[in-house]
C-alpha cells in the first residue's frame, strides 16, 4: 500500500488542471509537463482523479456508472500513450489478500478476464476483439520475503508484456477521498515504497513500456482525520460569520434548500483574528505544519492509528468488482460498456 | 453493536472504583450501588474493564495471558452473582458476521464449547466438570428483519437457561481503548439500541436471571478521534510548558529514559490562557461540548465516518479466539487456565 | 443436512407424476394423495423437482433462467396452498455456515430481502408490492448445543409467521442429481433428522400453517457413487448388445449425432444372463440390496466418505445466490422475474 | 493440481521399498535408482509416503505428531540431498486459493516463516538458527493466464535460491489415501501437467538445484471410488469364504476383537470362479482395465466427477497448518519440533 499522490490543487506553469462533471461523478485531469514536474515535485504525466460516492452509498447503479466511467478514462489514457489493440497487457494486483483494506489489488485480479494462455495454447479459439492479457498478484514482502518490485521484475522479464496496469489500495491524504476516488496515472509505480530506502520504480523510464496505475484510497490515519476536521471547523465558522453579515440570507447559495450537501471551500476560511479565536495557533499553521504537529503528539502515544471505514468488507469487495469490470471494458474491444459486469469471473 | 458505557472516571458516593495492575494488564473495577446509579445515570452493578495492548501488538503470549485474566474475572463475577456449577448457560453472540469489526460475537460463538445437546441426548457421556452450555448468534435486524431482543427472547423462552453471557463489539468512546479493552458487566444488555426507540432490555430485572456482557470496542468515529487528539495536543503543550519552568528536568519522571511510553494525564492540561493560545475556544469546551461541536461540522459533510484499524481482520479473529477461550475457562471447571486455548474449536 | 426424499419413479394409485421440459430445464411434479402416501411411505403433498445443468456448467445465463423457473414454481406452490400477498413469511436457512457444502441455507439467508422490521418500525416507508418477510439461520446442534427444531420453534413462537420456507442442502440419493436439482415441497421439514431419534417435524400438521422446503443435493456418499456406476455399466453394456443386434444403427435414436449426451434408461438394462456375465451377482440385486451390500463392505473400512464436487465453493455460492433470487421473486409481487437478481444483497 | 504418483507396490530391481510404523503413523520409503526408474517408468529419486488418520479424525494431538514427523522426514531428505543450513530456500505454493480442495499450497504459504527480506534489509537483526527463506504462490493459469512453470521460472531467475520446496494438492489414485497421506519427493515437479502438452519440468535436471515436493491427495474421481470399492467387495467376499472354511474362527486374527479396523489385503482376493460369481467380468480385469472401462461409461454421461470430502474446509485448513509447521521445523535449526506450531503466522 502506497500513500496517495498529493493532488495539485492549483495549476502552476507546466501543470494543466481541468475538471468535468458527469451527474454524480467528478473527473479531474492534471497534466504535468517536465517543467511543471520539477516545480511541484511529481513525475511528469497524466493524473486523473474520478470522484463518486457510489461505494460509500453502496449504490449498485452508481457503481455501474462509475465502472463505465473508469473504463472510458482508462481506454482514453491507453490510446493517449499509443497502446494498440494488439499490445499485450500484464495486470498487477498489489497488496495483501489477508488484510481487507489492502486487498483491492488481489481481489480484482481474481475477477479480471485473462486470455494470454488461450493466445498461446489455442490461438484459433480466441475470438476477434479480445486482447492478450495476463494477471499476477506478487504478494507483500511480509508474506513472500521478496521485494515486490523484484517479484514484478521477474514476472515482466518472463512474460514480456507491452504494457502494465497496476492496481493498489492507497493511504488517503484526505478524509473526503476515502473510498470515494479512483486515481489513474500513466507515471508508473513504486511498489513497497516506505519500507527501507530500497524502492525500485516500475515505469516507462525503467522498463521502456507504459506503466499505468489505478489507486484507491482505502485507509487514512488519525493525523489526517484530525487535521481535516480542524480545517472543516475553521471553514464552518468562517462561513457562518460571513453569512451572518450579509444583508439577506435568502439569496445565499449556501442555504439553497435544493442543495443536498454543503461543501466547504477555501473561501470559507475565517480571517486571522477569527481563526485564532476558534482554533488558537492551529489556525495559523499550514497543512503540513498542522499534520506534523499532530503527528508528534499522537505517535509517541501509539495512537496514530491507520483506520478504514467499518464497512470495509463490502467497500473493498464492491470496489474490486467495479475496478476489474472497468479494466475488462478498457482492454477488450469486444466488451461493451453495458455488459462489462458480466465478464468478471465472480 | 452498542456504544461503550462511559467509564466512571471519578467515584462519587455509591460508586466504588478500584484498580489492579498485573504485568501488562490493568483491571479497573467499578461497583455502582443503587444510589450511585442514580447519580451517574448508569445501572447498578459491576463494571470491570481489562486493558491490554495484546491485540494491537499481535503478541500471542500476551493474548494468552489476557485470555486467562478474562477467564478469572468472569469466573469471579459469576460466583459473585451466585452462579453454581450446575447452572445452565446460554451464550449469545451479538453482531453481524458479514461486517468484520462487528463480528466478534458471531466468530466467538463458532469457537465456544457447547454441551447442552450432550446433556440432553447422552447425559452419561458428559464427563465431570463440564457445564451445560448452549450458544446462539441471533443476527442483526438488517439481515433477519427481526428485532435482536425479540430473537433472543424466543430462544431464552425455548431453552430456559439459568444465566446468559452476551458478547458484542462496541463503538469506542475513546481512541486509546480501541481493540485494547474488554469490558465485563453483570448489568444486562440492550441489543439493537440505537435503532428506533424500541429497545428492549435483557437483564436480571426483565428475565429474573443474571445477564452478563462482554464488550470489546472495535470501532470509533471521526468525532472521537478528533476530540481525543485535541485533548492530547492540549495536554502535550501543557506539560511541555510546565516542564520548561522546572528547575531541573533531570528529576522529572516524565522524562525518565526507562519509561517506554509517556502517558498524558489530566494534570498535564494547560492553564486557560495557554489553552486558548493553542486551541482557541476549543480549550474552554468540556468533552461533551467539544464532541457536539465537531459532530455538527462533520455530519452534514458526510465525514463522521465510523472507522476500525486497518488490521481489522487479524484483530477481530484474535479477539474472538481469546474471548471464547476465556469463556470456556470460566464456565467449565475441568478446563485449566493453561489449556483453555486447546478447547476452542478452531 | 437431510437425505434427499426418494423420488417416486413410477406413479402408483394416489401418486400423480407429470413432467415438463423447458429448454434446458426439466420439471417433475409428483402429487401424493393420502392413499398414495401410505403406499409409498411418504407424506401427502406436492414434490416438485427442477433439473438443470446450470450450476455444474457454471453458466450464468442458465442460472438466471433456473432462478426464474424456481421463482415461478414457488409462486404457484404458494398460491396452491392458499398463501395471500399479505401473509407473513419466515425463511429458515438450515445448515452449517462453516461447512461449505452444507452452507446453502445460511448463505441464502444473507441474500434474501427482509422487510419485517420495516413493516414494524416504519410501515409508511414500505412500498406497495412488498411482503412482510423475516429470515433466520438457526445453526447446527454441534455449534449451538440446541436441537435445530427447538430453535426454530422458539423463533416461530416469537415471530408468529403465516408460513415458513426452509432452505437446506441435501445428501443426494443419486450421482446425477448432485448440484443439478432443486427440490420443492409443501410437506414440511424434519431438521436434524439422523441425529438420535428425537426428530421433531415442522409442518402444517404440527404448526397449523404451510411449511415449504427448498432442498438442494450437494453431497453424495461413496456407496451411492459405486451403486449408480454399477447400474450405468450394466445399462451401457445392455444397450451396446441390443444395438449390435439391430439391422441398422443409422436409425437408432441413441446414435443421433445431434443428441448432445446419451442418457441411459431402464430399458437399456441387459437380460439376466448378460447381466451376470458383466457384474455377477450384483446384476441380480435390486437398488436397496446393492447399496446395503456395498455399505457393509465400505463402512468398516472407514471409506464410506460423504463427498462433494471439487468446485464446491463456486457451486454453493452460485446456488445460494440463485435460490435467494428465486425466493425474492416469488415472495414480493413488485419484483419482476427479469430483475430478481438485483434484489439480492450481494 | 497434479495426479498422485503411482506408489510402487512391489520392489523390482532398482526399486527399494522399506516401511516404518510409528504409533498411528506409517512411513513408506521408496528409493528408485536409474535402472529401476526405467523399469517402473518413474523418475529416479526418493519417494516418501507418510500415512495418518490425523486429518480425517480431526484429532489435534495426532496432527501435531504428524507435523513433527513431516518435519523430521523433510529435514533428513534435505540432508540426504546435501542441503546446508546456509542454503537459501524458495517455497512454492501451487494451486488455486479460490478452490478449497486445491488451496493447500496457497494457504500454507500464508503460514510459513519467511526471512529472506530480513537477511537482505536487516541482516544484523536475524538471529542464529534461521535460514534464508522466501515463499510464493504462482497462482493457476485460469486466473493468471500464465503457465505456472513460466511464472516459477521467472521467480527462480529473480531470487536465485539454492533449493526449492513445492507444496501441492493432488488427485488421489486411491480412496484410502485421500486426506490421509503426505507424499514427499526429491524428484522435482511438473506444474500444470495435464493442460496441453506444454508441461515444463522444474527439477535438478533442469535447474541444477534440488527441487523437493510435498503433495497431499485431496480429491478423487468417481472412477477411482467405484474401482476401489469393487476391489474391496471382491476381497471382502474372498475373505469371508476363506474364513468360513477354517476349522476355528476363534483363532482368526481378522476377527480379533481388539483390532480396531479390518484391513483388506491382496491375499483376501477370491479365486477366479468365486470372483466371477460376485462381480462377473470385473473380477477378471486388472486395475487399469477396470478403471478404463468405468471411465468409458461415466465420462460421456458427465458423471466422472472429481470430488472431495464434505469436511473439505477444515481438512484443508488443518493440513495447510500442519504442512507449514512441518516445513518451518525442517528449515530453521532454531525451531524445536515441540514448538513448531507457534511459528506459523495464524
| Contact at CB, C233 and D293, closer than 8 angstroms | yes
Residues of D in contact with C226 (CB under 8 A): 225-226, 229-230
pLDDT value at D332 more than 50: yes
Q: For residue C329, give every residue at least 6 positions away whose Cβ sits within 8 Å of its Cβ, in sequence order, or none.
A: C67, C68, C71, C75, C335, C336, C337, C340, C343
Residues of B in contact with A104 (CB under 8 A): none
pLDDT grade, residue B337 (50/70/90)?
A: low
C-alpha–C-alpha distance, residues A185 and A187, integer Å: 6
- Residue D195 is predicted with a pLDDT of 40
Residue-wise pLDDT tens digits, A42-79: 889 999 999 999 999 999 999 999 999 999 999 999 99
pLDDT value at D198 more than 50: no
| Contact at CB, A225 and B226, closer than 8 angstroms | yes
Q: Is A220 on the interface with D (CB under 8 A)?
A: no
Most confident listed range (A88-102, A187-201, A257-271): A88-102
Q: Is C157 on the interface with B (CB under 8 A)?
A: yes
pLDDT value at A12 more than 60: yes
Average pLDDT rounded to a whole number, residues D31-60: 91
The answer to whether A294 and A227 have CB atoms below 8 angstroms apart is: yes
- Residue A3 is predicted with a pLDDT of 78
C-alpha–C-alpha distance, residues A55 and D309, integer Å: 38
Chosen for mutation from C310, C313, C314 (greatest number of chain D CBs closer than 10 Å) is C310
- Residue B136 is predicted with a pLDDT of 97
Mean pLDDT score of chain B, rounded to an integer? Answer: 87
- Residue A249 is predicted with a pLDDT of 46
**C-alpha closest to that of A285 among D191, B12, B278, C282:** B278
Q: Computed over its alpha carbons, how large is the radius of gyration of chain A?
A: 22
C-alpha–C-alpha distance, residues D321 and B174, integer Å: 37
pLDDT grade, residue A342 (50/70/90)?
A: low
The answer to whether D266 and C269 have CB atoms below 8 angstroms apart is: no
Residues of B in contact with A279 (CB under 8 A): 279-282
pLDDT value at A282 more than 90: no
Residues of B in contact with C157 (CB under 8 A): 154, 157-158
Average pLDDT rounded to a whole number, residues C206-215: 94
pLDDT grade, residue D38 (50/70/90)?
A: confident
- Residue A13 is predicted with a pLDDT of 79
Average pLDDT rounded to a whole number, residues A121-128: 88
Question: Does residue D49 come out as left (phi exceeding 0), alpha (psi in the -120 to 50 range) or beta?
Answer: beta
C-alpha–C-alpha distance, residues A241 and A96, integer Å: 47
CA distances from D123 to A156, A242, A243, D337, D345 (A): 28, 60, 62, 25, 21
| Contact at CB, A307 and B307, closer than 8 angstroms | yes
Give the pairing type, strands A133-136 and A89-93: parallel
Residue-wise pLDDT tens digits, D76-103: 999 999 999 999 999 999 999 999 999 9
- Residue C237 is predicted with a pLDDT of 84
Place of cell 481493540: B179
**Min Cα separation A331/chain D (Å):** 15
pLDDT value at D279 more than 70: yes
C-alpha–C-alpha distance, residues A105 and A170, integer Å: 11
| Contact at CB, D307 and C302, closer than 8 angstroms | no
pLDDT value at D194 more than 80: no
pLDDT grade, residue C36 (50/70/90)?
A: confident
pLDDT value at B206 more than 90: no
| Contact at CB, B145 and C117, closer than 8 angstroms | yes
Task: Output D282 or C195, whichever has higher pLDDT.
Answer: D282
Nearest CA in chain A to B239: A297
C-alpha–C-alpha distance, residues B291 and B172, integer Å: 14
Nearest CA in chain A to D96: A110
- Residue B199 is predicted with a pLDDT of 56
- Residue D310 is predicted with a pLDDT of 95
- Residue D301 is predicted with a pLDDT of 87
CA distances from B122 to B88, B116, B118, B125, C150 (A): 16, 10, 5, 5, 17
Give percent of chain A with pLDDT exceeding 90: 59
Place of cell 420456507: C165
Whether the CA torsion C186, C187, C189, C193 is positive or negative: it is negative
Nearest CA in chain B to C110: B143
Give percent of chain B with pLDDT exceeding 70: 88
Question: Which helix (H) or strand (E) segment is B227 a member of?
Answer: helix B222-245
pLDDT value at C196 more than 80: no
pLDDT grade, residue D222 (50/70/90)?
A: very high
Residues of D in contact with C53 (CB under 8 A): 302
Average pLDDT rounded to a whole number, residues C46-75: 94
Give the pairing type, strands D25-32 and D15-22: antiparallel
Average pLDDT rounded to a whole number, residues A289-313: 91
Cell numbers standing for residue C278: 458383466
Q: Is B125 on the interface with C (CB under 8 A)?
A: no
- Residue D205 is predicted with a pLDDT of 87
Give the pairing type, strands C89-93 and C133-136: parallel
- Supply the DSSP symbol for D252: -
**Min Cα separation A150/chain D (Å):** 7
Cell numbers standing for residue D342: 507457534
- Residue C283 is predicted with a pLDDT of 85
DSSP reduced 3-state for A116:
helix
pLDDT grade, residue A199 (50/70/90)?
A: low
Residues of D in contact with A98 (CB under 8 A): 110
Report the residue from C115, C136, C146 with minimal CB separation from B117.
Answer: C146
Biggest alpha carbon–alpha carbon distance for chain B = 76
C-alpha–C-alpha distance, residues C201 and D236, integer Å: 39
- Residue A274 is predicted with a pLDDT of 85
Helices B222-245 and B272-279 meet at what angle, rounded to 10? Answer: 130
**C-alpha closest to that of A234 among A285, A292, A289:** A285
| Phi/psi of residue A204, nearest 5 degrees | -60, -40
Task: Output B311 or A275, whichever has higher pLDDT.
Answer: B311
Mean pLDDT score of chain C, rounded to an integer? Answer: 87
Report the residue from A98, A297, A312 with minimal CB separation from B232.
Answer: A297
**C-alpha closest to that of A92 among A214, A216, A218, A217:** A214
Cell numbers standing for residue B243: 516542564
Q: Is A133 on the interface with D (CB under 8 A)?
A: yes
Chosen for mutation from A96, A269, A280 (greatest number of chain B CBs closer than 10 Å) is A280
Question: Which helix (H) or strand (E) segment is A163 a member of?
Answer: strand A163-171
Question: Does residue A252 come out as left (phi exceeding 0), alpha (psi in the -120 to 50 range) or beta?
Answer: beta
C-alpha–C-alpha distance, residues C309 and D302, integer Å: 12
Cell numbers standing for residue D319: 493440513
Residue-wise pLDDT tens digits, B125-134: 888 999 999 9
Least confident of A86-100, B70-84, C186-200: C186-200
The answer to whether C48 and C73 have CB atoms below 8 angstroms apart is: yes
**What 3 state SS string does chain C have?**
CEECCCCCCCCCCCEEEEEEEECCEEEEEEEECHHHHHHHCCCCEEEEEEECCCCCCCCHHHHHHHHHHHHHHHHHHHHHCCCCCCCCEEEEECCCCCCHHHCHHHHHHCCCCCCHHHHHHCHHHCCCCCCCEEEECCCCHHHHCCCHHHHHHHHHHHHCCCEEEEEEEEECCCHHHCCCEEEEECCCECCCCCCCCCCCCECHHHHCCCEEEEEEEEEEEHHHHHHHHHHHHHHHHHHHHHHHHCCCHHHCHHHCCCCCCCCCCHHHCCCHHHHHHHHHHHHCCCHHHHHHHHHHHHHHHCCCCEEEECCHHHHHHHHHHHHHHHHHHHHCCCCCHHHHHHHCCC
Scan residues 172-201 of B and list those with Cβ closer than 8 Å to C.
195-196, 198
Give percent of chain D with pLDDT exceeding 70: 88
Give percent of chain D with pLDDT exceeding 90: 58
Chosen for mutation from D240, D307, D315 (greatest number of chain C CBs closer than 10 Å) is D307
Q: Is C142 on the interface with B (CB under 8 A)?
A: yes
pLDDT grade, residue B271 (50/70/90)?
A: confident
- Residue C45 is predicted with a pLDDT of 95
- Residue B8 is predicted with a pLDDT of 53
Biggest alpha carbon–alpha carbon distance for chain D = 76
- Residue C252 is predicted with a pLDDT of 45
Chosen for mutation from C140, C268, C280 (greatest number of chain D CBs closer than 10 Å) is C280
- Residue B194 is predicted with a pLDDT of 45
CA A300 to chain centre: 30
| Contact at CB, C298 and D229, closer than 8 angstroms | yes
Q: Is C307 on the interface with D (CB under 8 A)?
A: yes
pLDDT value at A346 more than 60: no
**C-alpha closest to that of C294 among C235, C237, C229:** C229
- Supply the DSSP symbol for D87: -
Average pLDDT rounded to a whole number, residues A305-316: 95
pLDDT value at C249 more than 50: no
pLDDT value at D278 more than 60: yes
| Contact at CB, C278 and D280, closer than 8 angstroms | yes
CA D20 to chain centre: 17
C-alpha–C-alpha distance, residues A341 and B9, integer Å: 54
Place of cell 535408482: D33
- Residue B251 is predicted with a pLDDT of 43
Q: Is B312 on the interface with A (CB under 8 A)?
A: yes
pLDDT value at C316 more than 80: yes
Residue-wise pLDDT tens digits, D311-320: 999 999 999 9
Report the residue from C98, C281, C296 with minimal CB separation from D313.
Answer: C98
**C-alpha closest to that of B280 among A293, A283, A277, A236:** A277
- Supply the DSSP symbol for B60: H
Residue-wise pLDDT tens digits, C289-301: 989 999 998 988 8
Nearest CA in chain D to C224: D226
pTM: 0.91
Give the pairing type, strands A211-221 and B133-136: unpaired
pLDDT value at C253 more than 60: no
pLDDT value at B273 more than 60: yes
Average pLDDT rounded to a whole number, residues B322-329: 97
Residue-wise pLDDT tens digits, D238-261: 888 777 766 544 444 444 444 445
Amino acid at each position: 500500500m502506497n500513500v496517495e499522490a498529493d493532488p495539485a490543487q492549483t495549476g502552476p506553469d507546466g501543470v494543466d488542471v481541468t475538471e468535468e462533471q458527469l451527474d454524480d461523478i467528478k473527473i479531474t485531469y492534471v497534466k504535468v509537463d517536465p517543467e511543471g514536474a520539477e516545480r511541484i515535485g511529481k513525475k511528469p504525466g497524466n493524473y486523473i482523479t474520478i470522484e463518486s460516492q457510489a461505494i460509500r452509498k453502496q449504490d449498485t447503479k452508481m457503481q455501474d456508472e462509475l465502472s463505465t466511467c473508469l473504463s472510458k478514462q482508462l481506454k482514453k489514457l491507453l490510446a493517449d500513450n499509443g497502446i494498440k489493440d494488439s499490445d499485450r497487457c500484464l495486470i498487477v494486483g498489489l497488496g495483501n489478500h489477508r488484510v481487507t483494506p489492502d486487498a483491492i489489488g488481489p481481489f480484482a485480479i481474481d475477477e479480471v478476464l485473462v486470455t494470454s494462455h488461450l493466445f498461446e495454447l489455442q490461438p484459433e479459439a480466441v475470438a476477434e476483439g479480445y486482447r492478450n492479457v495476463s494477471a499476477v498478484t506478487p504478494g507483500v514482502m511480509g508474506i513472500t520475503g521478496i521485494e515486490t518490485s523484484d517479484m514484478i521484475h521477474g514476472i515482466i522479464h518472463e512474460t514480456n508484456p507491452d504494457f502494465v496496469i497496476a492496481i493498489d489500495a492507497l493511504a488517503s491524504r484526505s478524509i473526503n477521498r476515502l473510498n470515494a476516488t479512483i486515481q489513474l496515472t500513466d507515471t508508473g509505480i513504486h511498489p513497497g515504497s516506505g519500507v527501507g530506502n530500497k524502492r525500485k520504480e516500475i515505469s516507462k523510464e525503467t522498463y521502456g513500456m507504459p506503466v499505468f496505475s489505478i489507486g484507491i484510497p482505502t485507509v487514512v490515519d488519525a493525523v489526517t482525520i484530525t487535521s481535516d476536521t480542524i480545517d472543516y471547523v475553521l471553514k464552518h465558522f468562517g462561513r457562518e460569520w460571513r453569512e451572518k453579515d450579509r444583508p439577506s440570507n435568502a439569496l445565499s447559495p449556501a442555504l439553497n434548500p435544493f442543495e443536498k450537501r454543503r461543501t466547504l471551500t477555501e473561501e470559507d476560511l475565517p480571517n486571522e483574528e477569527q481563526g485564532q479565536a476558534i482554533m488558537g495557533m492551529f489556525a495559523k499553521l499550514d497543512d503540513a505544519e498542522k499534520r506534523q504537529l499532530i503527528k508528534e503528539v499522537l505517535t509517541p502515544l501509539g495512537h496514530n492509528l491507520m483506520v478504514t471505514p467499518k464497512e470495509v468488507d463490502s467497500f473493498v469487495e464492491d470496489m474490486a468488482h467495479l475496478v476489474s469490470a472497468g479494466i475488462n471494458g478498457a482492454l477488450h474491444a469486444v466488451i461493451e460498456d453495458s455488459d462489462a459486469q458480466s465478464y468478471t469471473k465472480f
